[in-house]
A and B are shown apart, each in its own frame.
Chain A
C-alpha cells in the first residue's frame, strides 16, 4: 500500500522554464512533508519542507504547495537549471503525540531532466 504516490516517473523541461513535480498521499495523519533530491551514487539531499499548518513554503527557486483537502503537494522549480536534473522524492511523516521521533514515508520518485 503506497501511502505517498508520485505518479510521474519522469519529467523533462527546458532550461529556464518551470518544473512542477507532483505528489499525492493517502494517510490523513501525515502533517509534515519534505522534498529530497537524489543524484546517482549519492544519498537523498533535503530540499524543502512544509508543515500541514501552511499551504506554501518558498526557498529561493524552490516552492512547495500543499493542498490538504486534496491530499496533494507539488514542488515548483523556477527557473529550472540543468544542474537540477536528478530524482526527486516526496516524503511525508507524522509527528507523534509528545513530539517523539517520526519516520519518513517516501514516494517512488520522479526523474527530472532539464535540457539546456
Chain B
C-alpha cells in the first residue's frame, strides 16, 4: 500500500540558511500534519492543513511556514536556520472524513544544522 512520502530523507544546512521539506500524503488523504522530533524527545506538533487551508497550529516558530498544494502535497519552509532546528521532521496524513482515523506517518526528514 502507498505510504506517506517525505523528501529529502537527510538534509544538512548551515546556520542562517533556508530549507524546504516536502511531503506527499497517502492518496485520497486530505489532511497533512507536520511534527518535529528532537533527540530523545516525543514528536511535537507543528502545523496541519486540511483541504489546502491551515487547520491547526502548534509550536511552529515564526521562521517556519508551510502550505498544502492543490495536489495535497505539503511543503515546510524553514528560514534563518538555527542549530536547535536540528531534528527529525515527520509528516503525517489522514482522511478527515474518517472521523477519528489514525494519522499515518512518513519516514521523516533528518535535518542537521551546522
Query: Are A and B subunits of one complex?
Result: yes
A residues touching B (Cβ–Cβ < 8 Å)?
4, 32, 34, 36, 41-46, 49, 51, 89, 95, 99-109
Chain B nearest Cβ from A35, distance in angstroms: 10
Counting contact residues on chain B (CB < 8 A from A), the size range is 20 to 34
Chain A residue nearest to B97 in the complex (CB)? A99
Cβ contact within 8 Å between A45 and B100: no
B70 at interface, CB cutoff 8 A: no
In Å, the complex CA distance between A11 and B103 comes to 25
In Å, the complex CA distance between A45 and B43 comes to 13
In Å, the complex CA distance between A49 and B105 comes to 15
Mask for B13-48, Cβ within 8 A of A = 1, else 0?
Answer: 000000000000000000101000000111111001
Chain A residue nearest to B9 in the complex (CB)? A41
Cβ contact within 8 Å between B102 and A41: no
Beyond the given pairs A44-B105, A108-B41, A108-B42, 15 more chain A to chain B contacts, judged by CB atoms under 8 angstroms and listed by A's residue number, are A36-B105, A43-B4, A43-B6, A43-B90, A43-B107, A46-B102, A46-B104, A99-B99, A101-B55, A101-B56, A104-B103, A106-B43, A106-B44, A108-B40, A109-B42
Can you list 28 A-B pairs, Cβ within 8 angstroms, ordered by A?
Answer: A32-B100, A34-B103, A36-B105, A41-B107, A43-B90, A43-B92, A43-B106, A43-B108, A44-B43, A44-B105, A46-B103, A46-B104, A46-B105, A49-B100, A49-B102, A51-B100, A89-B42, A95-B99, A99-B99, A101-B56, A102-B56, A103-B33, A103-B48, A103-B56, A103-B58, A104-B45, A107-B42, A108-B40
